[in-house]
């Protein structure tokens, strides 16, 4: 019987049976997060509509619900009704809406289901409204009532409870590091090549995306090879190595602070000078830019992307690259959280110009690049997967227009989406990290005879 086997979705039940206490929890968290700029935003959107053409959801799908100003207004309407003078009295006149079950459903559909938090609307907003920031605040308000879509929340909780977002047991992480160390020795021909773990006083603490040890360890090998070639003093942590932070996506600041705080503490415990973040867009935005606010402290030590570290090696002549080792035409994807929202823009280009023969930019690129569609927790939220792949069409077209055979992205989340886009749109491209390309171009120092 079809009915008997129809899948039951407890999340829908929860949305159907919201209580007054749930609504109060949402409002309390929303209120807590409103500062002057957010309040000002309620009055400054002039409905110019420029944000519509900034959004990859709107550009591929074209529904009103996809327009960033519409998503913004879902949030601002509630702010006006509940927190601003005049909102309750002037009601519909100023676009105020009381938070109720129907509004919560619209929030979930638009703020979780039609936004990857890429910030392209924000940088194109004529009034300078932090649109993606307000959307994240509203996600956080939903999180306060336990209303994050469960597939996304599960990745947050796996990280919080098990120390990394894929639930990798410590001994399996260490066994994989050991294995990659063997591969490093084989590739470099140096039996003394090492991948240090928990080494006190190392200059760099390096962090990675758990999907690298779990399923795609070639990027670990590439980074180890780079550090080896540079003669770097570096280390992994045996238990705090996860650079990701799905709290950024769920909007939950307390989880987000806890996750970034672990890396900060690991650096302190090991006495490393620099916390180096692996190729992860949202992990970079989280720990480099947001974490000081989440943790309410100044760091006083450098937090760098591995791209910045690698570019320093090349500039200082600590490593030598031979671009003839990468002959295939190659293009670069700019992860939103690393580039538009993270400020790491030129380092990856400098590396590629030195590491490949035929580097082709996509159009548009850098801060104005389109999101691949995989950010904002979209990769985790299976219920919105169709929209994610449809919204990735722009990126697929950008890639195809370059004629490149290889796409590189300094972000494992983007890499997963780009791989799926390759399959969905028949691109036939190979997808790699920037450091993998750099490692392929390394001219290794000759061993002493």
Partner 1 sequence: MPTIEYRGRTLELNEEGFLVRPEEWTEEIALALAKDQENLDALTPDHWAVIRFIRGYYEEKKLAPMVRAICKTTNLPLRQIYELFPSGPAKGACKLAGLPKPDGCV
Closest CA to 76 of 41, 47, 48, 102: 41
Q: Minimum distance from CB of 438 to partner 1 (Å)? A: 19
Closer Cβ to partner 1, 70 or 211, answer by number: 211
Asked whether position 175 contacts partner 1 by CB under 8 A, the answer is yes
Of the ranges 92-100, 133-141, 198-206, 411-419, which one interacts with partner 1 (CB under 8 A)?
411-419
Is residue 336 within 8 A of residue 308, CB to CB? The reply is no
Asked whether position 149 contacts partner 1 by CB under 8 A, the answer is no
Closer Cβ to partner 1, 165 or 398, answer by number: 165
Q: Are strands 442-443 and 320-321 parallel, antiparallel or unpaired?
A: antiparallel
Which residues are CB-contacts of 323 (< 8 A; sequence separation ≥ 6)?
Answer: 354, 355, 356, 357, 441
Q: Minimum distance from CB of 108 to partner 1 (Å)? A: 16
Of the ranges 120-128, 153-161, 309-317, 435-443, which one interacts with partner 1 (CB under 8 A)?
153-161
Asked whether position 213 contacts partner 1 by CB under 8 A, the answer is yes
Asked whether position 215 contacts partner 1 by CB under 8 A, the answer is yes
Q: Minimum distance from CB of 416 to partner 1 (Å)? A: 6
Q: Minimum distance from CB of 151 to partner 1 (Å)? A: 8
Closer Cβ to partner 1, 209 or 305, answer by number: 209
Alpha-carbon span 258 to 296, nearest angstrom = 12
The single residue among 81, 139, 211, 228 that binds partner 1, judged by CB under 8 A, is 211
Closest CA to 360 of 329, 336, 400, 339: 329
Q: Minimum distance from CB of 418 to partner 1 (Å)? A: 12
Closer Cβ to partner 1, 165 or 402, answer by number: 165
Closer Cβ to partner 1, 235 or 378, answer by number: 378
Q: How far is CA 76 from the centre of its chain?
A: 25
Number of residues that bind partner 1 (CB under 8 A): 38
The single residue among 160, 419, 440, 444 that binds partner 1, judged by CB under 8 A, is 419
- Give the torsion sign (CA, 90, 95, 99, 103): positive
Of the ranges 128-136, 207-215, 362-370, 433-441, which one interacts with partner 1 (CB under 8 A)?
207-215
Asked whether position 176 contacts partner 1 by CB under 8 A, the answer is yes
Instruction: Return the residues of window 229-288 that contact partner 1 according to CB under 8 A.
Output: 244
Site residues (vs partner 1, CB under 8 A): 5-7, 151, 154-155, 158, 165-168, 172, 175-176, 179, 209-211, 213-218, 244, 379-380, 382-386, 412-413, 416, 419-420, 423
């Amino acid at each position: 019987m079809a009915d008997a086997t129809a899948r039951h979705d407890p999340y829908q039940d929860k949305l159907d049976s919201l209580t007054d206490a749930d609504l109060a929890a949402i409002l309390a968290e929303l209120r807590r997060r409103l500062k002057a700029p957010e309040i000002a935003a309620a009055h400054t959107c002039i409905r110019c509509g420029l944000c519509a053409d900034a959004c990859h959801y709107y550009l591929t799908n074209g529904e009103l619900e996809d327009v960033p100003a519409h998503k913004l207004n879902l949030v601002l309407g509630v702010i006006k009704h509940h927190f601003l003078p005049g909102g309750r009295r002037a009601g519909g006149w100023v676009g105020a809406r009381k938070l109720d079950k129907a509004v919560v459903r619209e929030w979930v559909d638009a703020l979780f289901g039609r936004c990857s938090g890429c910030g392209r609307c924000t940088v194109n907003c004529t009034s300078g409204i932090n649109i993606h920031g307000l959307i994240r605040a509203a996600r956080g308000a939903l999180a306060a009532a336990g209303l994050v879509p469960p597939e996304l929340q599960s990745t947050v909780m796996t990280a919080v409870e098990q120390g990394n977002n894929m639930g990798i047991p410590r001994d399996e992480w260490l066994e994989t590091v050991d294995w990659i160390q063997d591969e490093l020795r084989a590739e470099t021909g140096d039996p003394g090549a090492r991948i240090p773990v928990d080494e006190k006083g190392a200059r760099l603490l390096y962090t990675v995306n758990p999907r690298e040890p779990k399923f795609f360890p070639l990027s670990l090998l590439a980074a180890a090879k780079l550090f080896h070639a540079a003669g770097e003093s570096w280390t992994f942590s045996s238990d705090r190595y996860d650079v990701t932070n799905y709290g950024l996506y769920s909007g939950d600041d307390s989880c987000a602070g806890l996750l970034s705080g672990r890396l900060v503490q690991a650096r302190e415990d090991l006495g490393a000078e620099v916390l180096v973040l692996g190729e992860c867009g949202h992990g970079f935005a989280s720990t480099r830019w947001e974490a000081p606010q989440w943790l309410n402290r100044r760091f006083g030590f450098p937090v760098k992307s591995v791209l910045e570290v690698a570019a320093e090696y090349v500039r200082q002549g600590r490593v030598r690259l031979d671009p003839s080792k990468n002959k295939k035409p190659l293009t670069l994807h700019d992860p939103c959280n690393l580039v538009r929202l993270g400020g790491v823009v030129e380092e990856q280009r400098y590396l590629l110009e030195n590491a490949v023969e035929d580097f082709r930019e996509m159009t548009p690129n850098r801060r104005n690049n389109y999101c691949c569609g995989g950010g904002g927790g979209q990769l985790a939220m299976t219920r919105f997967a169709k929209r994610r792949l449809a919204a990735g069409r722009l990126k697929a077209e950008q890639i195809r227009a370059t004629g490149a055979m290889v796409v590189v992205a300094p972000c494992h989340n983007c890499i997963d989406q780009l791989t799926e886009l390759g399959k969905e749109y028949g691109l036939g491209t190979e997808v790699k990290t920037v450091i993998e390309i750099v490692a392929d171009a390394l001219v290794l120092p000759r061993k002493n005879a």
